[in-house]
Amino acid sequence: MKLYVARHGETEWNRLNKVCGRTDSPLTDKGLQQAQLLAERLDSCSIDVIIASPLSRAQETARAVAERKHLPVLTDERLIEQDYGVYEGVQRDDRDFLNNKRMFAYRYPGGESMMDIARRTYDLIIETRETYPDSSVLFVCHNGICRVICSYFMDMTNEEYFGFSQDNCGYNIYEC
Protein backbone atom coordinates (compact mmCIF):
# COMPACT_ATOMS: atom_id res chain seq x y z
CA MET A 1 0.00 0.00 0.00
CA LYS A 2 1.09 3.53 -0.74
CA LEU A 3 -0.07 6.05 1.87
CA TYR A 4 -0.39 9.75 1.12
CA VAL A 5 -0.81 11.92 4.22
CA ALA A 6 -1.99 15.50 3.76
CA ARG A 7 -2.74 18.26 6.22
CA HIS A 8 -5.86 20.37 5.74
CA GLY A 9 -5.79 23.93 4.37
CA GLU A 10 -5.35 27.06 6.46
CA THR A 11 -7.97 27.92 9.08
CA GLU A 12 -8.58 31.16 10.93
CA TRP A 13 -6.98 29.68 14.06
CA ASN A 14 -3.92 28.64 12.02
CA ARG A 15 -3.66 32.22 10.78
CA LEU A 16 -3.95 33.54 14.35
CA ASN A 17 -1.32 31.00 15.57
CA LYS A 18 -3.73 29.38 18.03
CA VAL A 19 -3.67 25.77 19.20
CA CYS A 20 -6.52 24.17 17.28
CA GLY A 21 -7.32 20.60 18.21
CA ARG A 22 -10.97 19.62 18.22
CA THR A 23 -12.38 23.11 17.61
CA ASP A 24 -14.06 22.92 14.21
CA SER A 25 -12.39 25.97 12.70
CA PRO A 26 -13.37 26.24 9.01
CA LEU A 27 -10.99 26.92 6.15
CA THR A 28 -10.14 30.49 5.24
CA ASP A 29 -10.31 31.63 1.61
CA LYS A 30 -6.58 30.90 1.46
CA GLY A 31 -7.26 27.43 2.90
CA LEU A 32 -9.84 26.74 0.19
CA GLN A 33 -7.30 27.80 -2.45
CA GLN A 34 -4.68 25.58 -0.85
CA ALA A 35 -7.11 22.64 -1.02
CA GLN A 36 -7.60 23.23 -4.75
CA LEU A 37 -3.83 23.40 -5.26
CA LEU A 38 -3.40 20.16 -3.32
CA ALA A 39 -5.97 18.53 -5.59
CA GLU A 40 -4.02 19.75 -8.62
CA ARG A 41 -0.69 18.50 -7.21
CA LEU A 42 -2.22 15.07 -6.53
CA ASP A 43 -3.84 14.91 -9.96
CA SER A 44 -1.04 12.79 -11.40
CA CYS A 45 -0.96 10.49 -8.36
CA SER A 46 -2.91 7.27 -8.43
CA ILE A 47 -5.20 7.50 -5.39
CA ASP A 48 -7.83 4.83 -4.88
CA VAL A 49 -9.24 5.71 -1.45
CA ILE A 50 -9.61 8.98 0.47
CA ILE A 51 -10.09 8.90 4.25
CA ALA A 52 -10.46 12.12 6.24
CA SER A 53 -10.86 13.40 9.76
CA PRO A 54 -14.45 14.30 10.64
CA LEU A 55 -13.56 17.96 11.25
CA SER A 56 -14.80 20.32 8.52
CA ARG A 57 -11.34 21.68 7.66
CA ALA A 58 -10.17 18.17 6.73
CA GLN A 59 -13.46 17.26 5.06
CA GLU A 60 -13.38 20.36 2.83
CA THR A 61 -9.77 19.70 1.88
CA ALA A 62 -10.49 16.05 1.12
CA ARG A 63 -13.56 17.02 -0.92
CA ALA A 64 -11.41 19.17 -3.24
CA VAL A 65 -9.24 16.13 -4.03
CA ALA A 66 -12.21 13.75 -4.18
CA GLU A 67 -14.07 15.89 -6.72
CA ARG A 68 -11.04 15.87 -9.01
CA LYS A 69 -10.51 12.13 -8.55
CA HIS A 70 -14.23 11.24 -8.69
CA LEU A 71 -13.96 9.39 -5.40
CA PRO A 72 -16.03 9.46 -2.21
CA VAL A 73 -14.55 10.76 1.03
CA LEU A 74 -14.60 8.18 3.81
CA THR A 75 -14.49 9.52 7.37
CA ASP A 76 -12.58 7.99 10.25
CA GLU A 77 -12.73 9.43 13.77
CA ARG A 78 -9.18 8.22 14.46
CA LEU A 79 -7.84 10.95 12.15
CA ILE A 80 -9.31 13.72 14.31
CA GLU A 81 -6.74 16.10 15.77
CA GLN A 82 -5.36 15.64 19.26
CA ASP A 83 -7.55 16.89 22.09
CA TYR A 84 -5.40 19.59 23.66
CA GLY A 85 -7.77 20.06 26.60
CA VAL A 86 -7.07 23.27 28.53
CA TYR A 87 -4.63 24.42 25.82
CA GLU A 88 -7.27 24.57 23.10
CA GLY A 89 -7.25 28.12 21.71
CA VAL A 90 -4.06 29.35 23.43
CA GLN A 91 -1.21 30.81 21.39
CA ARG A 92 1.03 28.10 19.92
CA ASP A 93 4.06 29.69 21.59
CA ASP A 94 2.47 29.54 25.06
CA ARG A 95 5.24 28.41 27.44
CA ASP A 96 3.09 25.91 29.40
CA PHE A 97 1.74 24.40 26.18
CA LEU A 98 5.23 23.98 24.71
CA ASN A 99 6.62 22.50 27.94
CA ASN A 100 3.79 19.96 28.08
CA LYS A 101 4.12 19.22 24.35
CA ARG A 102 7.64 17.88 25.02
CA MET A 103 6.26 15.21 27.38
CA PHE A 104 4.82 12.62 25.03
CA ALA A 105 3.11 10.51 27.67
CA TYR A 106 1.62 13.58 29.37
CA ARG A 107 -2.14 13.82 29.02
CA TYR A 108 -3.14 17.45 28.57
CA PRO A 109 -5.62 18.33 31.35
CA GLY A 110 -9.02 17.56 29.84
CA GLY A 111 -7.42 16.12 26.70
CA GLU A 112 -5.17 13.42 25.24
CA SER A 113 -1.51 12.51 25.36
CA MET A 114 0.55 11.95 22.23
CA MET A 115 0.65 8.31 23.24
CA ASP A 116 -3.17 8.26 23.04
CA ILE A 117 -3.15 9.56 19.48
CA ALA A 118 -0.29 7.25 18.49
CA ARG A 119 -2.31 4.23 19.61
CA ARG A 120 -5.39 5.17 17.58
CA THR A 121 -3.42 6.37 14.56
CA TYR A 122 -1.09 3.36 14.42
CA ASP A 123 -4.13 1.06 14.64
CA LEU A 124 -5.70 2.91 11.70
CA ILE A 125 -2.54 2.55 9.59
CA ILE A 126 -2.41 -1.20 10.27
CA GLU A 127 -6.13 -1.63 9.55
CA THR A 128 -5.91 0.43 6.35
CA ARG A 129 -2.94 -1.61 5.12
CA GLU A 130 -4.91 -4.82 5.74
CA THR A 131 -8.07 -3.48 4.06
CA TYR A 132 -6.38 -1.86 1.03
CA PRO A 133 -3.10 -3.80 0.58
CA ASP A 134 -2.65 -3.05 -3.13
CA SER A 135 -4.08 0.47 -3.15
CA SER A 136 -2.97 4.05 -2.82
CA VAL A 137 -4.74 5.72 0.10
CA LEU A 138 -4.91 9.41 1.01
CA PHE A 139 -5.40 10.46 4.63
CA VAL A 140 -6.47 14.08 5.07
CA CYS A 141 -5.89 15.09 8.64
CA HIS A 142 -4.10 17.49 10.99
CA ASN A 143 -0.58 18.53 11.93
CA GLY A 144 -0.50 16.43 15.13
CA ILE A 145 -1.74 13.37 13.26
CA CYS A 146 0.77 13.95 10.42
CA ARG A 147 3.52 14.01 13.08
CA VAL A 148 2.38 10.72 14.59
CA ILE A 149 2.07 9.04 11.18
CA CYS A 150 5.60 10.16 10.31
CA SER A 151 6.81 8.58 13.58
CA TYR A 152 5.21 5.28 12.55
CA PHE A 153 7.34 5.11 9.41
CA MET A 154 10.53 6.85 10.51
CA ASP A 155 12.70 6.79 13.60
CA MET A 156 12.63 10.25 15.14
CA THR A 157 14.43 11.71 18.12
CA ASN A 158 12.29 13.46 20.71
CA GLU A 159 13.53 16.80 19.37
CA GLU A 160 12.68 15.85 15.76
CA TYR A 161 9.23 14.73 16.85
CA PHE A 162 8.67 17.92 18.85
CA GLY A 163 9.81 20.08 15.93
CA PHE A 164 7.90 18.28 13.17
CA SER A 165 5.39 20.45 11.36
CA GLN A 166 3.45 19.80 8.17
CA ASP A 167 2.53 22.82 6.05
CA ASN A 168 -1.14 23.42 5.34
CA CYS A 169 -2.00 21.20 2.36
CA GLY A 170 1.49 19.76 2.36
CA TYR A 171 1.73 15.99 2.04
CA ASN A 172 4.09 13.08 2.53
CA ILE A 173 4.14 9.67 0.89
CA TYR A 174 4.90 6.43 2.74
CA GLU A 175 5.22 2.83 1.50
CA CYS A 176 3.59 0.18 3.66
Q: What is the pLDDT of residues 107-126, one digit of tens each?
A: 999 999 999 999 999 999 99
Q: For the segment 30-84, what is each residue's pLDDT rounded down to a tens digit?
A: 999 999 999 999 999 999 999 999 999 999 999 999 999 999 999 999 999 999 9
Per-residue pLDDT of 140-159, as tens digits, reads 999 999 999 999 999 999 89
Question: Roughly how many angstroms between the first and final C-alpha of the chain, as a whole number?
Answer: 5
> What residue ranges define each of the domains in the chain, with the CATH number in brackets?
2-175 (3.40.50.1240)
Question: Any idea which residues carry the catalytic annotation?
Answer: 8, 81
State the pLDDT confidence band at 105, using cuts at 50, 70 and 90. confident
pTM, two decimal places? 0.96
